[in-house]
Amino acid sequence: KNEVEQSPQNLTAQEGEFITINCSYSVGISALHWLQQHPGGGIVSLFMLSSGKKKHGRLIATINIQEKHSSLHITASHPRDSAVYICAVSYMEYGNKLVFGAGTILRVKS
């Protein structure tokens, strides 16, 4: 079974700061996913990565397959970025099920 570890568990930042959330996993995967959930809200898929780097607006996600590590970066953070960010991995050979990390609670103060 794959273990997915996220760090930090909690993160408080000032508006405008550069934020990094890390994720590591123990077994080879088909893809790694970054998800966002606002308090009381639904779950939004931000990125799906199998290699390299992806960028969407102020969000950047990278993955190092050899190191089994991924990072989610938020540039110029804003209070609306306050949410729980969840890393998850999936395997096509096992029904593409997700194995989740515990999540990182991000609070961005203005």
Partner 1 sequence: DAGITQSPRHKVTETGTPVTLRCHQTENHRYMYWYRQDPGHGLRLIHYSYGVKDTDKGEVSDGYSVSRSKTEDFLLTLESATSSQTSVYFCAISDSVVYGYTFGSGTRLTVV
Report which DSSP code applies to 58: T
**Per rule CB under 8 A, is residue 51 in the interface with partner 1?**
no
**Per rule CB under 8 A, is residue 86 in the interface with partner 1?**
yes
Tokens of 5: 């570890």
**Per rule CB under 8 A, is residue 83 in the interface with partner 1?**
no
Point out which span in 10-18, 60-68, 75-83, 89-97 binds partner 1 (CB under 8 A).
89-97
Longest dimension (CA), the chain: 44
How many other CB atoms are found less than 10 A from the CB of residue 75? 13
DSSP helix/strand/coil, 21:
strand
Give the interface with partner 1 as residue ranges (CB under 8 A).
30-31, 33, 35, 42-45, 48, 50, 86, 88, 90, 92, 95-98, 100-103
